[in-house]
Structure 1
Amino acid sequence: MIKTEIQEMPTTWRCGRFLFDFSKRKRPIVMGILNATPDSFSDGGQFQVAKDAITQAEHMIANGVDLIDIGGESTRPGAEPVSLQEELDRVLPVIEGLKDCGVPLSIDTYKAETMRQALMAGVDCVNDIWALRQEGAVNAVLENINCGVVLMHMQRDPVTMQFNPEYQDVIAEVKQFLKERADLLIAQGIEHDRIAIDPGFGFGKSLEHNLNMLRHFHSFSELAFPVLAGISRKSMIGKITGKDTNERVAPSVAAAIMAADRGAMIVRVHDVPETIDALKLWEAVNT
């Protein structure tokens, strides 16, 4: 297990109605991906109907998922935005069906009004690829005194982010961005223990940038927030293995374990049962 010198590690993460206590758990939080979209890169169209999405969520819950991340708009490279109403029509029925499911729910959105309505409907966390930089997003979160927040780094936007991304030092630049965003939110009244950070694998990064971030993932923990690793089935895995998205389960699980070894406290995954089984073994070895 890779060790790193950390001045201060988070002991809790407040997520709406739920509190994750890292002092009482060995393995990372498993965040299950639930895309109520027709065009997400891996599972687009599979759970576009609310009842199918709810069934998939129930399957994840039965297999031990810790948190379910609901999305109504694809943010894959080159994705075009959808209207506010279309996003709401996709996610609100799913939230309604799951709000009392017993595990926290997250809304994967950058739109302030979607955040606001999703929080009112019962979600516990906002997961934002724009790190609350869109108009009204900070206020939407400030209106809810308990919700968790995941701030992600992205270079440019989903349409252009993979057009020759460049960094002088990807680790330093991503860390600086995340620190600045977190400090800004804390200054505006969002408590430290509500914030998690995500370096944003695949969001404005080349293969080498992604590998460098995974190789040195422990560095992000130095910011003293829970760090999320979202690598599941992404193109970096396809470039290395030559496999299509649905054939990337094994390397995705391996990537989650590598991230856990390097300090990830949250892993965002498509393949919940496989990831949890692997983390159980990881936990047994590291106990």
Structure 2
Amino acid sequence: MSTLRGRVAGLPWWDRCAVMGVVNVTPDSFSDGGRWFDTEAAVKRGLDLADTGADLVDVGGESTRPGASRVDEAEELRRVIPVVRGLADEGVVVSVDTMRASVAERAVAAGAVLVNDVSGGLADPAMVPVVAAARVPFVVMHWRGFSQDMNSRAVYGDVVAEVVSELRARMDAVVAGGIDPERIVVDPGLGFAKEADHDLALVAHLQELRTLGRPLLVAASRKRFLGRVLAAEDGSPPPARERDAATAAVSAIAAREGAWAVRVHEVRATADAVRVARAVEGAQ
């Protein structure tokens, strides 16, 4: 199954599902509440993630949790660029998580080798031309709008079919805009304009997402649907940082289904999970 994961032009080749570690350089992340907001702490965090098994590290300076307000461009640049540079200088494979073309451009200049845009290029019309000119890989995520009102857009007749269709249309658009199709990664956008049942259905049907013909990134880490699955009898979900075992379970499922990479906040358990999944593949 590993041969079906696909290669991403411009990135290393891993013979198993890769692990993307997350560094949120934000004061208001749903997951880690600003623990890595300081540049030095964020760089150290990224290095620690790489040491514990992250194949690449995704640096973001804008919270995309439901209801979050946007940060301004200058502040996002201030948060992100020194961290990208610090990690790249240490030899880490760095991705930048941004919806702004200016941040993507500066991050690539600072050493980022992948642009992870949760809007798939929809939030900023300059994004696709910038990525095309930079000739770096681009993550196209399923997205229906900004965090402030995305929950109102979580309306589907058939979530799997609609996500596949909307992702295909977005892929076609970014290719028409000049991005090399061999540099595209797709992401179903778990938690973005989706309810828990939608997220679970997408995880259950990853094979259908792979019909898009491009490597698949699955980003389930600590998200609300896992909180719903793990909820106590009174319906209260566990805190985000208590969802890492559940995250590793989804990572194992995604790896088994041929995902190219999984994006997680805590790396060690998921690094173990994807290696076990690869060993099982090898025993078939």
Give the 3-state SS of the residue equivalent to 1:126 in structure 2.
Answer: strand
Q: Which residue of 1 aligns with 2:134?
A: 144
- Aligned pair 1:270/2:265, yes or no? yes
Q: Map of 1:1-287 to 2, 5 A cutoff?
A: 9=4, 11-15=6-10, 19-21=11-13, 25=15, 27-133=16-122, 134-145=124-135, 147-163=136-152, 165-242=154-231, 243-287=238-282
Distance in 2 separating the partners of 1:278 and 1:211:
19
CA distance in 2, matches of 1:284, 1:10: 15
| 3-state SS, counterpart of residue 107 of structure 2 | helix
Q: Secondary structure at the match of 1:106?
A: strand
Distance 1:164 1:13, change over 3 A: closer
CA distance in 2, matches of 1:223, 1:185: 14
User: Following TM superposition, by how much is the alpha carbon of 1:10 offset from its aligned partner in structure 2, in angstroms?
Assistant: 5.8
Over the aligned positions, Cα root-mean-square deviation in angstroms equals 1.6
Give the structure-2-normalised TM-score.
Answer: 0.92
Q: What is the SS of the residue equivalent to 2:112?
A: coil
- Which moves more between the two structures, 72-81 or 239-248? 239-248
Q: Distance in 2 between matches of 1:177 and 1:250?
A: 31
**Letter of the 1:60 counterpart:** L
State the identity as a percent: 39
Quote the offset at 1:21 in angstroms.
Answer: 2.9
Using the alignment, how far apart are the partners of 1:260 and 1:98 within structure 2?
Answer: 26
Could you state the TM-score of these two structures normalised by the residue count of structure 1? 0.91
SS in 2 for 1:212: helix
Unaligned 5+ segments in structure 2 are: 232-237
1:44 CA displacement = 2.5
What is the one-letter code of the residue matched to 1:267?
A: V
Moved over 3 A (4+): 8-11
**Residue type at the aligned position of 2:6:** T
Q: How many residues align?
A: 274
Match of 2:234 in 1: none
Contact 2:6 2:214 in 1 (8 A): no
2:255 is paired with a residue of what secondary structure?
helix
Partners of 2:100 and 2:193 in 1: how far apart? 20
CA apart distance, 1:102: 2.2
* Cα separation, 2, equivalents of 1:47 and 1:32: 13
1:253–1:274 contact (8 Å) kept in structure 2: yes
The Cα offsets for residues 44-90 of structure 1, whole Å up to 9 and x where unpaired, read as 31000011011111111112211110000000000000000000010
Q: Runs of 5+ in structure 1 lacking a partner? A: none
Report the 3-state secondary structure (helix = DSSP H, G, I; strand = E; otherwise coil) of the residue aligned with 2:263: strand
Cα distance per residue 1:165-190 (max 9 Å; x no partner): 11111111111111111122222321
CA contact (8 A) 2:256 2:278 kept: no
User: Contact 2:5 / 2:258 at 8 angstroms: preserved in 1?
Assistant: no
